[in-house]
Amino acid sequence: MKFGATTFVTADGIRPDRLGPALEERGFDSLFVAEHSHIPASRESPYPMGGELPGVYYRSLDPFVALTAAAVTTTHLRLGTGIALLIQRDTIQTAKEVASLDTLSGGRVIFGVGVGWNREEMRNHGTDPRTRGALMNEQLEALKVIWTEEQAEYHGRYVDFDPIFAWPKPVQQPHPPIYVGGNSPASLARVATHGDGWFPFAVSDPAEIRPQLDLLAEHAEKAAVTVSGVDSNNRAVLDGYAEAGVERATFVLRPQGESEVLRELDGLAEVVAAYR
């Protein structure tokens, strides 16, 4: 099992061009960066983790800019969005951003996507929360067309464009792997139809691992699994995911200053070493 880090990148935390090499040097295989374009001042949508919304949500950098900074200072670290809120993004522009990052990194992108939870944030982008799942399905279809066809054309209910030329094409063929976040039946069906992998939150009880993976198996015969937010102190869960053949587990890194993050990574590196 491989290990990565999931984090928000902020202007007052460790820089991504320093974080990337630090992860690579310590045996991590990937960096996943979260996304929120903004946080509405008037918000009714409850934070899914409970409690108050952490301050990092208000201060996050654009994930593709952050990952590009990490790309130029690393050689083999996988660069992932964890997750990109695709329904709040222009489809054609997102296709270019993903392909550009894949080109500059030499084919190291993992495209993690999700529909998100902040309905006010969606509405500010012109997205109707009631149809966000249908929108994402069309966006994923359209992205693949843009990435793989010389003249791309797509006509759906929510995404619609006549033939276009769009370069660069991704280095990875046919395109960077798409990992779908979410635990709902709709998300799991999206993994089967549009995804290459699943990006769920980690469970805290090892007894829940098999039911979690069985739920995926009900929808998708073949899908790589990267679990997000594994507790590094819960070795029973780590062992369970490793024994179940999960591709990757990621630890959540708090956005802090460089010295604090490096100390945290040193501790996590000992955990990673035990699974080599």
Per-residue pLDDT of the chain (276 residues), as tens digits, is 999 999 999 999 999 999 999 999 999 999 999 999 999 998 888 888 888 899 999 999 999 999 999 999 999 999 999 999 999 999 999 999 999 999 999 999 999 999 999 999 999 999 999 999 999 999 999 999 999 999 999 999 999 999 999 999 999 999 999 999 998 889 999 999 999 999 999 999 999 999 999 999 999 888 999 999 999 999 999 999 999 999 999 999 999 999 999 999 999 999 999 998
> Which residues are 10's β-sheet partners?
60
Q: What pLDDT does 221 receive?
A: 80
Rounded to whole angstroms, the Cα distance separating 114 from 195 reads: 11
Nearest to 81 by CA among 38, 110, 121, 120: 110
* Residue 114 token pair: 């999700």
Q: Is 93 in contact with 79 (CB distance < 8 Å)?
A: no
Q: Which residues contact 260 (CB under 8 A, 6 or more apart)?
A: none
Q: What pLDDT does 187 receive?
A: 93
Rounded to whole angstroms, the Cα distance separating 30 from 36 reads: 20
Would you tell me how many other CB atoms lie within 10 Å of the CB of residue 78? 22
Distance of CA 205 to the CA centre of its chain: 23
Rounded to whole angstroms, the Cα distance separating 99 from 93 reads: 10
Domains of the chain as residue ranges with CATH: 2-273 (3.20.20.30)
pTM, 2 dp: 0.96
